[in-house]
A and B are shown apart, each in its own frame.
Chain A
Amino acid sequence: MRYESPLDAAALEDLAIRRYFAAVDAKDIEGVLSCLHDEALFTVQTDFVCHAGKPAIRRMLRDYFAAFETIVHRNFQLCADPATGRVAASFEGVVTTADGNATHLYNTNIWRVRDTRFQEIHVFMSGPNVLV
């Protein structure tokens, strides 16, 4: 599915990294949800899991943020495509529990943008799914 979006490459990068991931790492649920359409689809492609719509995504985020003391995403390799309204990133994710157990993931996200917000988020994880 291809959607229409007026965002240029810099705006797509801003939405994906400085708004979306900044909010995830700050455990800011409202900040994350502000990047999404109400009927957004969030799929973890490597685990065949789909969270459909903001209420389901909110529940997933609440559990995710509660499960880990710190969440860090870094070392982004960006790919922004304004012609198709898509942006992708490969990156390192480090999630650490309250007792200090850290899990390192090397993931790829592909976002499809409709208008100025995400309509679809496709996540490919290198390890166990933490977005359940």
Chain B
Amino acid sequence: MEPMTSRTESRGERRALIATVERFLIDGLDAGDPAAAGGFAPRALLLDATGGTVAVPPEAWIRAFRDVHHHSCHGDFSHVVDTKAAAVCSQFTRVSVRGGTVMRQECAGHFRFRDGLIVGAVIHASRPVEVV
């Protein structure tokens, strides 16, 4: 199913960095496309700062995420893009179904790149609150 989330419009160097991040969140986590993990370097580290777990490779994190979140939507993106440092810090909202309940989390992801691929990511997520 085609994800419904609106992607951020951008140009030039910013565009590639933002598109890789949004591809991971929308195509990878929301749509379950493992190819979205192709935006990561082979030895990339993905740290869930809230849960304290490290996932290598990122495909494992996508699988683990989808075991917990049945249907998810990442959106309301706000990106801080540092082309000189090759880093993106993204703020976004996650709405997902967990155990039959629709929950919302406020999240941040700090992604560092080398040669256009993510080499490290730190993800923070708030405690989930029920959407009523």
Contact = CB atoms under 8 A, between A and B. Distances in A.
- Physical interaction between A and B: yes
Interface of A: 9, 45-48, 77-81, 83-84, 86-88, 90, 106-108, 110, 122, 124-126
Q: Which of the listed residues B47, B82, B122 has the most CB atoms from chain A within 10 Å of its own CB? A: B82
Contacts of B80: 79-81, 84, 86-88, 110
Contacts of A45: 91, 106, 108, 124, 126
Contacts of A84: 79-81
Nearest to A86: B80
Interface of B: 14, 47, 49-50, 52, 78-82, 84-85, 87-89, 91, 106-108, 110, 112, 122, 124-127, 129
A23 B47 CA distance: 29
A88 B89 CA distance: 6
Contacts, number: 84
Contacts of B79: 81, 84
Contacts of A124: 49, 106-108, 124, 126
Contacts of B85: 78-80
Give chain A's interface secondary structure class: strand
A126 B124 contact: yes
Contact of B81 (A83, A108, A110, A122): A83
Contacts of B81: 79, 81, 83-84
Q: Which of the listed residues B52, B78, B91, B108 has the most CB atoms from chain A within 10 Å of its own CB? A: B108
